[in-house]
Amino acid sequence: MLSTNHQLANLLITMGELLSTQGANPHRVRAYKRAAETIVQLNEDVTAIANRGDLQELTGIGKDLSTKIVEFIQTGTIRSYQELTTPLPEHVQSWVELPGFTEPIVNDLYFRLGIQTLDDLESLVRSHILRTRPGMTATTEELLAAVHSLRQR
């Protein structure tokens, strides 16, 4: 019964640690750890709380985390955890060298947006959507030149 709580709490702690090593927002990292602490202290199975629709009533559990908890209850895993632990293909890892790119940005592009090739990346750069991302300082021209340089390798 409460083993589900411990499994989920351990998974959330691991996710927080992985996010931390990838330079994710510290508030997000703390949210995972706070949610894990809440879940491990419960006196009832988190599944029962989820079945009642009361997850967001728990301290530190908002909409995003409650969705992940339900996913865990239904499938035994959390997709975003799989993304955090799945290594990027070698050709995608090289994108970290692009101006303004960081490992979290590359992970986001690959796993969330499905950008998997240099053609996909070039299309994204040309659309100017990438420039709206917080922290992205490189110009479109700089990024296109860097993508072209990667293609030449």
Global model pTM greater than 0.75: no
The answer to whether 16 and 81 have CB atoms below 8 angstroms apart is no
CA–CA–CA angle 109, 126, 138 (5° rounding): 70
pLDDT for the residue 63: 95
| 114 exposure class (CB count in 10 Å sphere: 0-12, 13-18, 19+) | exposed
List, for residues 66-91, the tens digit of each pLDDT value.
Answer: 999 999 999 999 998 988 888 888 88
Report the sign of the C-alpha dihedral through residues 75, 71, 114, 106, in that order.
Answer: negative
- How far apart are alpha carbons 37 and 58 in whole angstroms? 11
List, for residues 88-120, the tens digit of each pLDDT value.
Answer: 888 898 898 888 888 778 888 888 788 999 999
- How far apart are alpha carbons 82 and 9 in whole angstroms? 16
Q: Find the radius of gyration of the CA atoms of the chain.
A: 19
Q: Residues with Cβ < 8 Å from 68, sequence gap 6 or more?
A: 78, 80
Helix segments in the chain, DSSP class H: 3-21, 26-40, 46-52, 63-75, 79-85, 90-93, 103-107, 118-127, 140-152
The answer to whether 33 and 16 have CB atoms below 8 angstroms apart is yes
pLDDT band at 132 (very low <50, low <70, confident <90, very high): confident
Q: Residues with Cβ < 8 Å from 19, sequence gap 6 or more?
A: 28, 29, 32, 84
pLDDT band at 2 (very low <50, low <70, confident <90, very high): low
The answer to whether 40 and 9 have CB atoms below 8 angstroms apart is yes
